[in-house]
Amino acid sequence: MSYEFPDNLFFDRKHHVWCLPESDLLIRIGIDPLGLASLGDLAYLSLNQNGSEVSRGQPMGMLEAAKMTGELIAPLDGKIVERNQHVLKDPFQVNREPYGTGWLAVLESENWNEDSKQLVTGQDVETWSKEELKRYREQGWID
């Protein structure tokens, strides 16, 4: 399997959630392919309601997958302003197109300039992703 990590995105180093700034305030988020591979096929997904405040490192939803059930952790502080209804109805869409139609939510962030400093992006993505792939293989989470 191929794991791609576009360097124009921002990645949460620990939880494998990606962020794509759409404006100074609006940030689209999703789960990267490596995070999805370690989870397996998503069977169920719930997200906090629109208007809910979320905090970096805290739960913003739940997911059930072939290999585990757990919390979806927010990559930044903000407010949920849009939830992807397609993935709420068909969670496997996240596995099919994690950077496309499989996005999860749009957050409104007043602190993006600060929050983004905690994420990996640009030329640092390649080094980080290689280290993560090695770690995941060593742990037996992926082949």
Model confidence pLDDT, tens digit, residues 4-41? 899 999 999 999 999 999 998 999 999 999 888 888 88
Coil/strand/helix, residue 137? helix
pLDDT for position 1: 56
**In sequence order, what DSSP letters do the residues of 27-95 get, joined into one string?**
EEEEE-HHHHHHH-SEEEEEEPPTT-EE-TTSEEEEEEESS-EEEEEPSSSEEEEEE-HHHHH-THHHH
Coil/strand/helix, residue 116? helix
pLDDT for position 15: 93
**Sites in the chain below the pLDDT cut of 70:** 1
pLDDT for position 45: 96
Q: Helix and strand tally (H, E) in the chain?
A: 5, 9
In the chain, the N- to C-terminal Cα span, in Å, equals 8
pLDDT for position 101: 96
For the sheet containing 42-47, what is the strand order?
42-47, 59-65, 69-73
pLDDT for position 47: 97
For 59, half-sphere exposure in the C-beta direction (CA atoms, 13 angstrom radius) is 10
